[in-house]
Amino acid sequence: MDLSALRGLLAELHASDDAWDDARAADALTAILADPRRRLLLAFDDGEAAGTLDVVVVPNLTRGARPYAVIENVVVAERFRRRGVGRALMDAAVAHAREEGCYKLQLISGGQRDAAHQLYAAAGFADDFHGYRRYL
C-alpha cells in the first residue's frame, strides 16, 4: 500500500490537517493492513491513485450477534470525480460487509458535502438517521 498516495488523497479530504506524522502514519498503516476485518481500499486510474476508503467490520451483540461495518475516510481525487471511482469503492465496501455477514453498513458525512451525499444515495445508502460525533 502506497502511503504517499494515501497522504495525497487524504489531504484533499482534510486540507487543513497539518498533524500528519510520517512515522505514526506508517505505524497506523501497518496496523490497519494487519487487521483481517478491515479493508483499506485504494483505487487507481491509469496508474495514479484516484480514491480511497476505509471499511471496518465491528463485532456486535444485537441482531443475532451479526457484525456491522463502518466506512470512514472516503475521498476521490478531484480530477477523478464523476468517473465511477467513488461508486467502485462503495461497491467494494458493500461486498466486504456482505462477505463478513454484516447486517448493516453505515457512514457519516459532513453536512456540506453535497456531491458525496449524491454518491452515497446512488450507492443505495439512505439518509434517514441523525448522526452525531464528538472530536476528542
pLDDT digits (tens, 9 = 90+) for 76-119: 999 999 889 999 999 999 999 999 999 999 987 766 677 777 77
Q: What pTM was computed for the model?
A: 0.84
pLDDT of residue 133: 72
Give the CATH number for residue 76.
3.40.630.30
Yes or no: say if 17 and 8 are a contact pair by the CB < 8 Å rule: no
DSSP letter at 62 equals S
**Is residue 133 assigned to a domain?**
no
Q: What is the largest CA-CA distance in the chain?
A: 43
Residue 21 has pLDDT above 90, yes or no: no
With CA atoms as reference, report the closest residue to 26 among 1, 56, 46, 49: 1
For residue 74, how far is the Cα from the chain centroid? 4
**Is residue 129 assigned to a domain?**
no
pLDDT of residue 121: 76
Rounded-to-integer distance, Cα 91 and Cα 23, Å: 31
**Is residue 90 assigned to a domain?**
yes
With residue 22 as reference, give the H or E element that holds it: helix 22-34
- Beta-bridged to residue 49, according to DSSP, are 44
Q: For the chain, give the mean pLDDT.
A: 87
- Beta-bridged to residue 41, according to DSSP, are 53
Give the total number of structural domains in the chain: 1
Q: Domain containing 88: what range?
A: 3-122
**Is residue 132 assigned to a domain?**
no
pLDDT in tens, 31-85: 999 999 999 999 999 889 999 999 999 999 999 999 999 999 999 999 999 889 9
